[in-house]
Amino acid sequence: MKFKKIIWAYVSFTISSTTPALAAPDETVTVYGLSPKIVLHEIRKMASGQWDAQLARWDSAFCPGVLGLDEPFQGIVLKHLDRAARAVIPGLPATCKTKNAFIVFSENGSAMFDAIDKGLPTLGNGYDSSNVSKQDFEPPDRRIVAQLRQDRPVRWYRSTSVQYFNGAWGDASAQSAKFDEKGTLLRTTFSIVIVDRNLASGASWGQLADYVAFVVLAAPALGENFNQNSIMSLYDEGRFQSTAPSLMTPLDDAVLRALYAANPAQDAHAEQTQIAASVSNDVTLQTRATH
């Protein structure tokens, strides 16, 4: 695939099996004390989107691949991602062929992004994993590109396509008014995640794999800090946090389930509110079950 060729053409990877890892802490995570207001605040970061559009989700065409990482670590990342994806995406095949979600490990994340941006300036916009249409090949907004160029342990970008109620395909921004149609879906069709091996060091492979899995499936707001009860707090303040959970938490699981189960016939703001209500209910039930 063109994207994979671009990666290997521009960057030579230094693979090391000696990346520092912490001993896994206690996997029990307390999610008590999260008020509905706090949950909604977190949801708007963990399941981000344009307020007048839908939230995007993967469908059964989801097909991840890992570059720049040797075994067994590549397998660890893919195993964690596959487990999380199968819990929320219906109809995933046993195996897939056309890669559309790339997790790239590099010794220099910023140099890696520059290489990708030079070779693939659309960052996957216009790539449609359904092979129905390839529209909207415009590069992303330069402000987004500038944000992606900033040094950070993990950075990500996703492109989307709209499947309209009548089966047509087009640009998400052109037809946002049609998101009230129940058959209209905003699909994630391509994703790039870059892990800077140096800046991301400190985490265990299980932590990092679950962090990447949540990023790929939900595409949270880049550069935000997240609640300490979420695996997304692993790199708050742009650096490894030793107090972060060891794996995805009940809060993270609840967010992913609610995101993929939410009614898409509404804008992102309404979807986030629905997701927050579902997550708050889950958190309340978990709290009662432990007392």
Q: Model confidence over 228-268: pLDDT tens digits?
A: 999 999 999 999 999 999 999 999 999 999 999 998 888 89
Order across the sheet with 169-170: list the strands. Answer: 64-67, 101-106, 185-196, 154-163, 169-170
24 located within any domain: no
Q: Model confidence over 131-189: pLDDT tens digits?
A: 655 667 888 899 999 999 999 999 999 998 877 655 444 444 444 445 555 566 788 99
Looking at the chain, how many residues does it have? Answer: 291
Nearest to 271 by CA among 259, 280, 283, 279: 259
274 located within any domain: yes
Report how many domains make up the chain. Answer: 1
Under a CB-based contact definition with an 8 Å cutoff, are residues 34 and 283 in contact? yes
From its phi and psi, is residue 238 left (phi > 0), alpha (psi between -120 and 50) or beta? left
Residue 158 pairs in a beta bridge with 191
Question: What are the structure tokens assigned to 149, written together?
Answer: 């160029």
22 located within any domain: no
29 located within any domain: no
17 located within any domain: no
Domain ranges, residue 180 = 2-10+34-289
Q: Model confidence over 38-94: pLDDT tens digits?
A: 999 999 999 998 877 889 999 999 999 999 999 999 999 999 999 999 999 999 999
Handedness of CA 17, 20, 24, 29 (dihedral sign): negative
21 located within any domain: no
23 located within any domain: no
Under a CB-based contact definition with an 8 Å cutoff, are residues 198 and 154 in contact? no
Check residue 168 and give its pLDDT. Answer: 46
> Strands, E, within the chain: which ranges?
64-67, 101-106, 154-163, 169-170, 185-196
Cα 191 to Cα 219: distance, rounded to the nearest angstrom: 9
27 located within any domain: no
